[in-house]
Structure 1
Amino acid sequence: MKNKLQIVWSSIAIISVCACSTPYTQPDAPIKEVPFTQVHLDDNFWSPRIETNRTVSIPSAFKECEKNGRFDNFAIAGGLMKGEHRGDFSFDDTDPYKIIEGASYSLAVKYDGKLDHYLDSVIHIIAAAQEPDGYLTTCVTNQCTRLSGWWGTRRWEKINSHELYNSGHLYEAAVAHYRATGKRTLLDVAIKNADLVCQVFGPGEGQIHRPSGHPIAEMALVKLYKVTGDEKYLQTAKYFVEETGRGTDGHKLSEYSQDHKPILQQDEIVGHAVRAGYLYSGVADVAALTHDTAYFNALTRIWENMAGKKLFITGGIGSRPQGEGFGPNYELNNHTAYCETCASIANVYWNHRMFLATGDAKYADVLERALYNGVISGVSLSGDKFFYDNPLESMGQHERQHWFGCACCPGNITRFMASVPYYMYATQGNDVYVNLFIQSKADIETESNKINVEQTTGYPWDGKISIAVTPEKEQEFALRVRIPGWAQDAPVPTDLYSFTDKAQAYSISVNGSKVNAKQYDGYATLVRNWKAGDVVEINLPMEVRRVKANDQVEDDRGKLAIERGPIMFCLEGQDQADSTVFNKFIPDGTPMEASYDAGLLNGVMVLSGTAKEIDRNGKVKDVPFKAIPYSTWNNRGADQMAVWIPEAAEYARPTPEATIASKARTLMIQAPIQKDAPESASVETWAWGVNDQWEPKRSSDISKPYHYWWLKNGTVETLAYEFDQPYTVSNVQVYWLDFDHYDG
Structure 2
Amino acid sequence: MPRTRPTVPTPERPTALEADGAPMGPVRLGQGATTALTPAAAEVSAGFWETRREVNARTSVPQGPGLLESAGNLNNLRVVAGTAEGEFKGAYPFVDSDVYKWLEAASWQLAQWAPDADDAQARELADDVERIVALVADAQQPDGYLNTWFQLLKGGERYKDLRWGHELYCAGHLIQAAVAHHRATGQPQLLDVARKFADHIDSVFGLPGSGKPIDGIDGHPEVETALVELYRETGERRYLDLAGYFVDRFGHGLLGGEAYCQDRVPVREADNVEGHAVRQLYLLAAAADLATETGDAELRAAGERLWRAMTATKTHLTGGLGAHHDEEDFGDPYELPNERAYCETCAAIASVQWSWRMALLTGEARYSDLIERTLYNGFLAGVSLDGERWLYVNPLQVRDGHTDTGGDQSARRTRWFRCACCPPNVMRLLASLNHYLATTDTGGLQIHQYVTGRYTGHLEGGPVTVTAQTDYPWHGTIGLTVEQTPQDSPWTLSLRIPQWCREYRVRCGDTVYDQADAPVTDGWLRLERTWAPGDQVVLELVLAPRLTEADPRVDAVRGCVAIERGPLVYCLEQVDHPGGGLDDMVIDTTVPLAVKDRPDLLGGLVTVVATGHRRHIPDQGWWPYASAGPDTGTVVTSPGEPVELTAIPYYAWANRQDGSMRVWLPTT
TM bucket (normalised to shorter chain) is: 0.7 to 0.9
2:297: which partner in 1?
Answer: 293
The answer to whether the Cα contact below 8 Å between 1:399 and 1:637 also exists between their aligned partners in 2 is no
* Pick aligned residue for 1:400 from 413, 423, 427: 413
Q: For the residues of structure 2 that align with 1:631 and 1:551, how far apart are their CA atoms?
A: 26
Structure 2 gap segments, 5+ residues each? 1-27, 115-121, 405-410, 619-636
After superposition, give the CA deviation of every residue in 1:526-572 in whole Å (9 maximum; x if it has no partner).
11111111111111111010000000000010000000000000000
Q: For the residues of structure 1 that align with 2:570 and 2:580, how far apart are their CA atoms?
A: 17
2:493: which partner in 1?
Answer: 479
**Letter paired with 1:507:** R
1:470: which partner in 2?
Answer: 483
1:551: which partner in 2?
Answer: 552
Distance 1:624 1:373, change over 3 A: same
Q: Does 1:305 align with 2:306?
A: no
Q: For the residues of structure 2 that align with 1:308 and 1:531, how far apart are their CA atoms?
A: 42
Q: For the residues of structure 2 that align with 1:210 and 1:50, how far apart are their CA atoms?
A: 39
Report the alpha carbon displacement of residue 301 of structure 1 after superposing the two structures with TM: 1.4
Q: For the residues of structure 2 that align with 1:39 and 1:99, how far apart are their CA atoms?
A: 22
* Pick aligned residue for 1:132 from 122, 136, 142: 142
2:66: which partner in 1?
Answer: 63
Report the alpha carbon displacement of residue 187 of structure 1 after superposing the two structures with TM: 0.8
Q: Does 1:427 align with 2:440?
A: yes
- Give the alignment of 1:92-131 within 5 angstroms: 92-111=95-114, 112-131=122-141
Structure 1 gap segments, 5+ residues each? 1-24, 146-151, 489-504, 649-744
Q: Does 1:622 align with 2:642?
A: yes
- Give the alignment of 1:260-659 within 5 angstroms: 260-395=264-399, 396=402, 397=404, 398-474=411-487, 475-488=489-502, 505-515=503-513, 516-617=517-618, 618-620=637-639, 621-648=641-668
| Partner secondary structure for residue 561 of structure 1 | strand
Distance 1:511 1:324, change over 3 A: same
| Partner secondary structure for residue 486 of structure 1 | coil
1:6: which partner in 2?
Answer: none
Report the alpha carbon displacement of residue 144 of structure 1 after superposing the two structures with TM: 4.4
| Partner secondary structure for residue 501 of structure 2 | helix
Q: For the residues of structure 2 that align with 1:466 and 1:589, how far apart are their CA atoms?
A: 35
Q: For the residues of structure 1 that align with 2:446 and 2:369, how far apart are their CA atoms?
A: 14
Distance 1:418 1:251, change over 3 A: closer
| Partner secondary structure for residue 519 of structure 1 | coil
1:13: which partner in 2?
Answer: none
| Partner secondary structure for residue 432 of structure 1 | strand
| Partner secondary structure for residue 304 of structure 2 | helix
The answer to whether the Cα contact below 8 Å between 2:162 and 2:216 also exists between their aligned partners in 1 is no
**Letter paired with 2:463:** K
* Pick aligned residue for 1:224 from 225, 230, 243: 230
| Partner secondary structure for residue 42 of structure 1 | strand
After superposition, give the CA deviation of every residue in 1:291-347 in whole Å (9 maximum; x if it has no partner).
001111111111111000000000011111001111100000010000000000000
**Letter paired with 1:87:** G
**Letter paired with 1:458:** D
Report the alpha carbon displacement of residue 211 of structure 1 after superposing the two structures with TM: 2.4
- Give the alignment of 1:151-162 within 5 angstroms: 153-162=157-166
- Give the alignment of 1:170-189 within 5 angstroms: 170-189=174-193
The answer to whether the Cα contact below 8 Å between 2:485 and 2:531 also exists between their aligned partners in 1 is no
Report the alpha carbon displacement of residue 155 of structure 1 after superposing the two structures with TM: 3.5
| Partner secondary structure for residue 47 of structure 2 | coil
* Pick aligned residue for 1:48 from 46, 51, 69: 51
Q: Which moved more, 1:40-49 or 1:311-320?
A: 40-49
1:38: which partner in 2?
Answer: 41
Q: For the residues of structure 2 that align with 1:473 and 1:124, how far apart are their CA atoms?
A: 45
Q: For the residues of structure 2 that align with 1:408 and 1:327, how far apart are their CA atoms?
A: 22
Q: For the residues of structure 1 that align with 2:605 and 2:74, how far apart are their CA atoms?
A: 38
Where do 4+ consecutive residues of structure 1 move more than 4 Å?
none
Q: For the residues of structure 1 that align with 2:419 and 2:510, how far apart are their CA atoms?
A: 54
Report the alpha carbon displacement of residue 407 of structure 1 after superposing the two structures with TM: 0.5
Report the alpha carbon displacement of residue 207 of structure 1 after superposing the two structures with TM: 3.1
Q: For the residues of structure 2 that align with 1:622 and 1:141, how far apart are their CA atoms?
A: 64
Q: For the residues of structure 2 that align with 1:624 and 1:175, how far apart are their CA atoms?
A: 51
Structure 2 length-normalised TM = 0.88
**Letter paired with 2:151:** T
Q: For the residues of structure 2 that align with 1:259 and 1:37, how far apart are their CA atoms?
A: 39
**Letter paired with 2:273:** I
The answer to whether the Cα contact below 8 Å between 1:90 and 1:139 also exists between their aligned partners in 2 is yes
Report the alpha carbon displacement of residue 153 of structure 1 after superposing the two structures with TM: 4.8
After superposition, give the CA deviation of every residue in 1:398-434 in whole Å (9 maximum; x if it has no partner).
2111110000000101101111121110011131111
1:142: which partner in 2?
Answer: 152
The answer to whether the Cα contact below 8 Å between 2:587 and 2:610 also exists between their aligned partners in 1 is no
The answer to whether the Cα contact below 8 Å between 2:31 and 2:361 also exists between their aligned partners in 1 is no
The answer to whether the Cα contact below 8 Å between 1:26 and 1:291 also exists between their aligned partners in 2 is no
Q: For the residues of structure 2 that align with 1:159 and 1:509, how far apart are their CA atoms?
A: 56
| Partner secondary structure for residue 623 of structure 1 | strand
Distance 1:584 1:157, change over 3 A: closer
2:5: which partner in 1?
Answer: none
**Letter paired with 1:377:** A
Q: For the residues of structure 2 that align with 1:453 and 1:628, how far apart are their CA atoms?
A: 33
Distance 1:609 1:261, change over 3 A: closer
Q: Does 1:211 align with 2:217?
A: yes
Q: For the residues of structure 1 that align with 2:183 and 2:299, how far apart are their CA atoms?
A: 30
2:15: which partner in 1?
Answer: none
Structure 1 length-normalised TM = 0.79
Report the alpha carbon displacement of residue 26 of structure 1 after superposing the two structures with TM: 6.8
Q: Does 1:72 align with 2:92?
A: no
**Letter paired with 2:506:** I
Report the alpha carbon displacement of residue 28 of structure 1 after superposing the two structures with TM: 5.0
Report the alpha carbon displacement of residue 156 of structure 1 after superposing the two structures with TM: 4.3
Q: For the residues of structure 2 that align with 1:118 and 1:153, how far apart are their CA atoms?
A: 31
Q: Which moved more, 1:573-582 or 1:539-548?
A: 573-582
